[in-house]
Structure 1
Amino acid sequence: MEKLKIGLTGSQETSIGTLVARATDARSAKSILHDTNAIRIMDQIDHDFDKFHINEAHATLYSTRTICLDRWVTEFLLRNPQATVVHLACGLDDRLRRLQADLTKVRWIDLDLPDVVELRAKLIPSPKGDYQLIAADATDRAWLEEIPTDRPTVIVCQGLTMFLEEESGKRMIRQIVDHFKSGQLIIDFISTISLYTQGQVATLVATGASFKWGVDDPKSIETLHPRLKIVDCLGPSELGDNEHLPLRTRLLISTYPDVPWLRYLSSYVRFNF
């Protein structure tokens, strides 16, 4: 089979970097996500994967963050078996298959920018059942009008907010909460200090992408809408599965809670609305 050449650049190309991280984790004897489908997807692509400089430690860090959000989505579906899941900035992440969501009960929507969706459609077959793949900018309001509000809804948004302008990101969150009647927003942020150290992030260097929005106090997001109530907020040291990390990395992140500006160097947050 002829492999696909990738024309994505900037923040859209970072979806290739996270694909490499999932595939690297899947190949590890200590895999966290066990996302073997990421290997299959990666094998269909002709791209310079080495430029992302993703080793097993990087893949493990990424995977501990991803499985935290996966677990929260799973918990929501256990409480609400007939729910809607909206996966914003889905990239090439086949989260639906990883979570084995039952599409006879669950309505699942994957959404990303048109160029990413076009690539995704070539690499990941659409599943049977109540599934929709939407090409849109997550910060636009128009896509929301396509999504019914008749069910509890969980929105999972990983690796997006940091690439948005602050006002666009805040508007996106307000629009989501305004549209849906009830549910959860599962989302991650970086801190403002990460904006100043982003030159050390290999994926950004490789793609030319840049971080734009940092959130130092995730609880402040509650002020964006009166219905937003924080349920969980975890920093890098609080995610669990850290035993899979190299000792040096474990020791480093274990110090984060004691340093105010490091505790939420990145944050993983669950809101009710």
Structure 2
Amino acid sequence: MNWYNIDLPNVIELRKKLLPESDREKCIAKFFLDVSWFNDIKKDYDNVFFLAGGLFAYYDEENIKIFFNNLAKDFPNSEIIFDAPSSKSNNNRTNRAIKKYNLGNIELKLAIKNLKTIEEFSPYIEVNDYLGFFEKIKRKKEWGIINNIQMTLNNLFHISNFYHIRFKN
């Protein structure tokens, strides 16, 4: 299995400095909706593993749906892991904080209602698994009660998650 990290050029440049590529792990420094990068992928394997961390939350559901359908068509039997907020997250509050603290001209748009939402994008999509952001992180007293409660509530109400999906034939 080959592993491909998809992100914008400035993010990939930093990633390569911190985590160099290997024979089976490559970085693609292109906009994910520009499917010309599909040609950069070796297609001589049964499946390809994609990782898109911190990317999809900034795009609306329709863009993600189009992207997943393109992946399913060009890379059947491939898999992708990505993170995204659920519709229970408060994107409006986060977007106000982004503006208040001048963190850039960005806005959170994606909010996944439930796992069925993803599977409804295409008959070729199957959700393998999902995991709350903080589900595998052991709480520590020194993090303070507020942080620990927020982490627990995030997992309890599935506010932000990691999703693992497979593209079927």
**Superposition TM-score, scaled by structure 1 size:** 0.51
Partner of 1:224: 121
Q: 1:247 to 1:85 in 2, by over 3 A?
A: same
Distance, in Å, in 1 between the alignment partners of 2:83 and 2:11 is 20
Aligned to 2:92: 196
How far the C-alpha of 1:189 sits from its partner, in A, is 0.7
The count of corresponding residues between Structure 1 and Structure 2 is 162
2:64 aligns with 169
Structure showing greater relative contact order (alpha-carbon pairs closer than 8 Å, 6 or more residues apart): 2
Where does residue 272 of structure 1 map in the other structure? 166
Q: Is the 8 A contact 1:149 1:181 kept in 2?
A: no
The one-letter code sitting in structure 2 at the alignment partner of 1:185 is I
C-alpha distance 216-205 of structure 1, shift in aligned 2 (>3 A) = farther
Q: Considering only aligned residues, what root-mean-square deviation do their CA atoms show, in Å?
A: 3.0
Using the alignment, how far apart are the partners of 2:64 and 2:138 within structure 1?
A: 30
Structure in which a larger fraction of residues adopt helix: 1
- Is the aligned partner of 1:214 residue 2:100? no
Structure 2 contact 59–108 (Cα < 8 Å) conserved: yes
Gaps of 5+ in 1: 1-82, 90-111
TM-score, normalised relative to structure 2: 0.77
Deviation at 1:234, TM superposition (A): 2.0
Secondary structure at the residue paired with 2:3? strand
Change (3 A) 1:211 1:255: closer
Shift of residue 137 of structure 1? 1.0
Partner SS state of residue 85, structure 1? strand
Asked if 1:84 is matched to 2:11, the reply is: no
Select the residue among 138, 144, 156 that pairs with 1:242. Answer: 138
Distance verdict in 2 for CA 1:233–1:202, change over 3 Å = farther
Percent of matched pairs sharing the same residue: 17
1:80-132 per-position Cα deviation (integer Å, ceiling 9, x unaligned): xxx1111122xxxxxxxxxxxxxxxxxxxxxx33x445x44984585564565
Per-residue deviation, 1:218: 3.3
1:186 aligns with 2:81: yes
Residues 6 and 29 of structure 2 are in contact (CA less than 8 Å); yes or no, is this contact kept in structure 1? Answer: no
Distance in 1, Cα, partners of 2:11 & 2:5: 14
CA deviation after TM superposition for structure 1 residue 235, in Å: 2.5
Cα deviations by residue, 1:176-203 (Å, 9 ceiling, x for unpaired): 1211131321111113443211123599
Higher strand share: 2
